[in-house]
Amino acid sequence: MKLSWRIILLWTLPALVIGFFLWQGTFSSAGGDLGRNTASTRMTYGRFLEYLDTGRVTAVDLYENGRTAIVEAVDPDLDNRLQRLRVDLPTNAPELIAKLRESEVTLDAHPPRKDGAIWGLLGNLVFPILLIAGLFFLFRRSSNIGGGPGQAMNFGKSRARFQMEAKTGVLFDDVAGVEEAKEELKEVVTFLKQPERFTAVGARIPKGALLVGPPGTGKTLLAKAIAGEAGVPFFSISGSEFVEMFVGVGASRVRDLFKKAKENAPCLIFIDEIDAVGRQRGAGIGGGNDEREQTLNQLLTEMDGFEGNTGIIIIAATNRPDVLDSALLRPGRFDRQVIVDAPDLKGRIGILEVHARNKKLAPEISIEVIARRTPGFTGADLANLLNEAAILTARRRKEAITMAEVNDAVDRVVAGMEGTPLVDSKSKRLIAYHEIGHAIVGTLLKDHDPVQKVTLIPRGQAQGLTWFTPSEEQGLITRAQLLARISGALGGRAAEEEVFGDAEVTTGAGGDLQQLTSIARQMVTRYGMSDLGSLSLEGQGGEVFLGGGLMSRAEYSEEIAFRIDEQVKRIAEHCHQEARQIIRENRMVIDRLVDLLIEKETIDGEEFRQIVAEYTHVPEKEQYVPQI
């Protein structure tokens, strides 16, 4: 309400100023004797002289130093009634006064009043005063709200959030799935709490720790846990808050931040998304960014320069370590680089247990089963998964989360929202053959991941989906597994060709073809899994801003490029023929599975394998048993 009154007053000030000047003009024009004696009718100077010559003028009152006259005259057209007429007199007419005296006309002169000048002076003073007061009010209001022009003089001040004892509500017990990173950072906390344990043997406190990992793995959460455990002053800031459009502002903010940190040492500084300010210097099209580079130079100096900073530990987080300047990563600035990667099965179980503390789960819920279904999920993904399951439970008016809600939540997180089921038609049957083709090839290939579910329920852009779940935590992938994945991706296209013919092949395999082409090309150019031999012909790929230039230089000759394309094509054709052979040899079970899928719209993996086992041998696949 207070702010609304300010806005009203802000809009009222200009209206008050305009109204004041209108009132001043009206008063100055009507405030003297002329205003009180203004005639309603004007008369020209020539007609006034005619009236004067004919003796019709009886009295004349002069105003404004003789520039205006109020004339009393007899008008014969109005039965000789007396009228008061206003006449504008010329500036140079000295004979007029003599002529008025000769005609024995009553003449009176009225000097100008002084109040008009006073009001003009007041008006000239009031407007600047109101303008200055309004600007002062705007600056003060912006400063109170927390931004805008009120902080024009505070550009160089650090915007870091400061807490004498950070009460984040997060401790190391609340962080799961990153045990190695926790152990590294627990030592930092111990350094701050009991430095004598380390200084007694000559160890020095690390100056910085860089948390590196994909988005959502818990880097910021770890920083909150460090702040909650350490019990020392804590500064937190984002890398983007250093950089402004004005050169030198970021460097000034770095200086101010470390000045405050020195005053509160020992303390912690957390810089989130440090890649916003720590990118490699002197790279990019047309040179680097002067403001960012000056900010980075100041940050490097403050972290490990001539003076040094004793008792200040810097924790930084990024998911782009490849773009950081090498001077920032060296020991002495960031002594430790802590990898915070996606959790394994044991880590996912721990994360799910943490996020399930405030969730009401049904007795049949198995945290281990959920963890097995979610390979590659980060901590943020798992938290979102349980939250989506809780939302679905509330929407369905259930009292506790069941596996049905968890499975639907996994599908929604991975593939998108559930669409309207397809009507029974030729298109639905074609999609069913496509999905069964993926599933049957993946099931009958020994090195392929087992099928978890086949469904015709649309999700996102997909009209149908076949889910595969890895049987183990895969770190290294064999050549046989890569070839099996390519064959499985081609299973849908192979089923369309074998069942409906080449003329009825659809665009549904577009995403599958992109996936298998990428896998086959990496097998040839990066992993040495082709007839070209054990050669790595392509790197990870660089960025233009890293100074690599606009055009990437070819790392091999045109002859090698031709042979690469030939090898990629050979791998794809081999896997395509293998998939078509599996479809041909198992046409009977495929038809049965398609009819069942159209009827039920979803077949789970165990039922799928049981039906396939009735017609052919299903190869044994290793089941991963975690050590928990």
Known catalytic residues are 435
3-state secondary structure of 468: strand
Strand ranges (DSSP E) for 256-311? 267-272
Query: In sequence order, what DSSP letters do the residues of 491-547 get, joined into one string?
Result: HHHHHHHHHH-GGG--GGGHHHHHHHHHHHHHHHHTS--STT-S-----S---GGGT
Compute the distance between CA of residue 575 and CA of residue 85 in angstroms, rounded to an integer.
Answer: 111
Q: Which two tokens stand for residue 127?
A: 């407007």
**Residue 262 CB-half CA count within 13 A:** 12
Query: In sequence order, what DSSP letters do the residues of 347-413 get, joined into one string?
Result: HHHHHHHHHTTTS-B-TT--HHHHHHH-TT--HHHHHHHHHHHHHHHHHTT-SSB-HHHHHHHHHHH
Q: What are phi and psi of 334, to 5 degrees?
A: -115, 95
Residue 470, Cβ density class (10 Å: 0-12 exposed, 13-18 middle, ≥19 buried): middle
Instruction: Give every strand in the sheet of 68-75, ordered side by side.
Output: 41-42, 81-88, 68-75, 57-63, 106-109
The overall longest dimension of the chain from CA atoms, in Å, is 140
Neighbours of 376 (CB within 10 A): 12
